[in-house]
Amino acid sequence: MARYLDQPDVADIAFGEVMRALSDEARLRILTLLADGEYHPCNTDDLQLDLHKSTLSHHKRILREAGVTTTRLDGRNYYVCLRREDLDTRFPGLLDAVLAGAREALA
């Protein structure tokens, strides 16, 4: 049975925390990989990032605690997904603007 790691409720997602979480290039790369709204395996190979496992875990925790992503634990496997609907509800247009800027900056 799948369970979810702690994350803020939609009403508790703070603008400053979201912006802080998105102020790092590695986290922006993770964001662009999750833009499709699907759950993705949480390891460096599947996310195609050149990051050490502990560094990736740190970045995923920052994104989850800020309310940007949700993480599902299924057995021993972790899957992460962008909280697009929740972020669009809280801050309309923010995610699209950040994704467009991130894609341009990271290209």
- The model's pLDDT over 15-72, given as tens digits with 9 standing for 90+, comes to 999 999 999 989 999 999 899 989 988 765 555 677 788 888 899 999 999 999 999 9
Q: Is 67 exposed, middle or buried (0-12, 13-18, 19+ CB in 10 A)?
A: buried
Domain covering 3-106 in this structure, CATH number: 1.10.10.10
Quote the longest CA-to-CA distance of the chain: 39
**Can you read off the two tokens belonging to residue 60?**
């995923």
Task: Say what angle helices 25-33 and 53-66 make with each other, to 10 degrees.
Answer: 80
- For the chain, the structural domain boundaries read 3-106
What per-residue confidence (pLDDT) applies to 32? 92
> Helix (H, G, I), strand (E, B), or coil: what is residue 20?
helix
Contacts (Cβ under 8 Å, ≥6 apart) of 91: 13, 15, 18
Q: What is the DSSP letter of 16?
A: H
- The model's pLDDT over 3-23, given as tens digits with 9 standing for 90+, comes to 888 899 999 999 999 999 999
> Helix (H, G, I), strand (E, B), or coil: what is residue 6?
coil
